[in-house]
Amino acid sequence: MKRTSVMSLIGAVALWLAMVSPGLSSESFSVAVMDQQKVIEYSKAGKRAIEELKAYSSARQKIISADEQELKELQQAMQDGKLTDSAKQEKQGQLQVKVEAYQRRLADFQREIQQKQREMVTEYSKKIQAAAQAVGEKNGYAAIVDKGIEAAMKIVIYHQPALDLTDQVVKEFDRQNK
């Protein structure tokens, strides 16, 4: 998730807690945590989605590798001492055209992969939210907060291990997304 959307989520949760908490006693108000990233990584549907993304990326990488090999071969052909000046110029022109095509293809593939990643995150965030909601309602939690990730922004600084519902959310997520 982008930092702004995470901050918006934190703000929304804080606002919601401020509005709801006066009506809740300290005994009836319970919050739990979960790790969305682990839900994707450990759930069956999440693992399938990650593998599909890897396969898609791998297929694109094979094309890029073939293009790189073609460029190397063309560069080696240009270094052949038997080529005339006009032949070298022709090869140089071919190389320039192929390098530009390679760079465009590489940029296109990177955009495609990033777009697929964004789509996957959006789709799975909604599904994880539904699974977390089911677990929260079943267990009487007023809120379940994503712990966040260390590399981007850790949202929950401390929690008791018993409050981590990640495993339960993974099971519910798998049940809902067979």
pLDDT digits (tens, 9 = 90+) for 135-160: 999 999 999 999 877 776 777 878 88
**What is the share, in percent, of the chain residues with pLDDT greater than 70?**
83
**CATH number of the domain where residue 71 is located:** 3.30.910.20
Distance CA 53, CA 131 (A): 22
Evaluate whether 143 touches 156 at the Cβ level (below 8 Å). no
Residue 3 pLDDT level (bands cut at 50, 70, 90): low
Distance CA 87, CA 112 (A): 37
Distance CA 140, CA 73 (A): 65
Evaluate whether 116 touches 53 at the Cβ level (below 8 Å). yes
Q: What is the pTM of this model?
A: 0.69
The stretch 24-30 carries a mean pLDDT of 61
Which pLDDT belongs to residue 141? 92
Secondary element (H or E) of residue 169: helix 166-176
Number of domains in the chain: 1
The pLDDT of residue 24 is above 90: no
Q: Which domain holds residue 86?
A: 3-176
pLDDT digits (tens, 9 = 90+) for 89-141: 888 898 999 999 999 999 999 999 999 999 998 999 999 999 999 999 999 99
pLDDT digits (tens, 9 = 90+) for 34-49: 999 999 999 999 999 9
